Structure 1
Amino acid sequence: MHPTYAYPKSRFEPTVLVDLNAKAERERLSKSALKGFFRLVAAWNLRDDDARELLGGLSSSAYYEWKKNPERVLEVDRITRISYLLGIYKALHILYGDKLADEWVSLPNTNQIFGGRTPLAHMLGGGLLAMQTTRQLLDARRGGL
C-alpha cells in the first residue's frame, strides 16, 4: 500500500476573485475606483491629457464629467486600468516616502523595463500591459510576489 500525500493546509484564506464581467461587481466598485483614480491624478500631479490616456483614451468632455460626477459603471478595461494604477500607488507608498512615491512615476528610470524613460511614459506608451508590468515590478520589490 502506498502512502497518501496531500498539500499542507494553508493558514491563509483563499483569495476570492472579483468577476469584473458581472455588472453588479462593476457597479459596486466603479465609484470608489474613480474617486481613487482622481486622488492619484492629483498626488502624481498628472496632466489631464495623461490621465485621460491612462484611462484608455477618454475624451476631454467625458473625463471632466467623470471627475465632476463619478456615479457611473466602468467597463472591464477601465476598472482594470484603475486597479493596476492604484496598486502601483500603494506599492510606491510602501516602498518609499510619500514625496518620492508620488514623484516616482515622473522620474527617469534606468530599470531595463523603462529604458531610461519615466514609468509614466512607459505606461502611456504601453497601455494596460505596461501598467501590469510596472505593478508586478513594484510588487516584486516589496516582496509581494
Structure 2
Amino acid sequence: MSHAYAYPTSHFETTPLVDLNARPERERLSRSALKGFFQLAAAWQLRDDDARELLGGLSSSSFYEWKKNHERVLEVDRITRISYLLGIYKALHILYGDKLADEWIRLPNTNAIFRGTTPLAYMLGGGLLAMQTVRRLLDARRGGL
C-alpha cells in the first residue's frame, strides 16, 4: 500500500520564472529596463559616475550611448542589477511619500546594515549583493517586519 503525500490546494498562482540566460527574454526586457533605470537615476538625482557604478562599472562612453539609445540587449548581471534597483524604487514609493522616497538613498541611515552611511554608498561599495540586501530590507518593511 502506497501513501502519496500531496500539498494542500492553494489559490496562489505562481508566475513562471524568467530565464535571463535566454537571449529572447533579455531582448524583451532590456529596452524597458534601461528606460526605467534612467528614469530612476533622474528621480534619485544620481551622479553619472554613481549610475555607471550601479550598472556594474560601465565605461563613460557606453553609459552615454546607452542613455541616448536604449536599443540593446543587456547581460544577465545588468538586468539583475536594474531589477533590484527598480524594486527598491518601487518599495520606497510605497513606503514613503515621493519626496522622501527619492531622497532616501542619499540620506545617512542609522540601520545597522548601513552603519551610518547612505544606502547609496552601501550599494556602491557592495554591488549586486548590497542591492539585494537593500531590496530585501525594504520588502520586509513593506510586509510589516
TM-score normalised to structure 2 length: 0.95
Give the structure 2 partner of residue 87 of structure 1.
Answer: 87
Give the structure 1 partner of residue 20 of structure 2.
Answer: 20
The residue type paired with residue 62 of structure 2 is: A
Give the structure 2 partner of residue 117 of structure 1.
Answer: 117
Counterpart CA distance in 1 for 2:100 and 2:54 is 21
Counterpart CA distance in 2 for 1:19 and 1:103 is 33
Provide closer, same or farther for how the CA distance between residues 18 and 53 of structure 1 changes in structure 2, counting only shifts above 3 A.
same
Give the structure 2 partner of residue 50 of structure 1.
Answer: 50
Provide closer, same or farther for how the CA distance between residues 4 and 20 of structure 1 changes in structure 2, counting only shifts above 3 A.
closer
* CA positional deviation for 1:16: 1.1
Deviations, residues 81-119 of structure 1 (Å, cap 9, x unaligned): 000000000000000000000000000001011010000
Q: Tell me, what secondary structure is at the counterpart of 2:115?
A: coil
Deviations, residues 63-95 of structure 1 (Å, cap 9, x unaligned): 000000010000000000000000000000000
The residue type paired with residue 60 of structure 1 is: S
TM superposition outliers: structure 1 runs of 4+ over 2 Å:
1-7
Q: Tell me, what secondary structure is at the counterpart of 1:121?
A: helix
Provide closer, same or farther for how the CA distance between residues 118 and 131 of structure 1 changes in structure 2, counting only shifts above 3 A.
same
Counterpart CA distance in 1 for 2:46 and 2:80 is 19
* CA positional deviation for 1:3: 7.7
Counterpart CA distance in 1 for 2:44 and 2:12 is 34
Q: Tell me, what secondary structure is at the counterpart of 1:93?
A: helix
Quick check: 1:132 aligned with 2:98?
A: no
The residue type paired with residue 126 of structure 1 is: G
Q: Which runs of 5+ in 1 are unaligned?
A: none
Q: Tell me, what secondary structure is at the counterpart of 1:40?
A: helix
Aligned-residue sequence identity (percent) comes to 83
The residue type paired with residue 131 of structure 1 is: M
RMSD: 1.7
* CA positional deviation for 1:4: 6.2
The residue type paired with residue 140 of structure 1 is: A
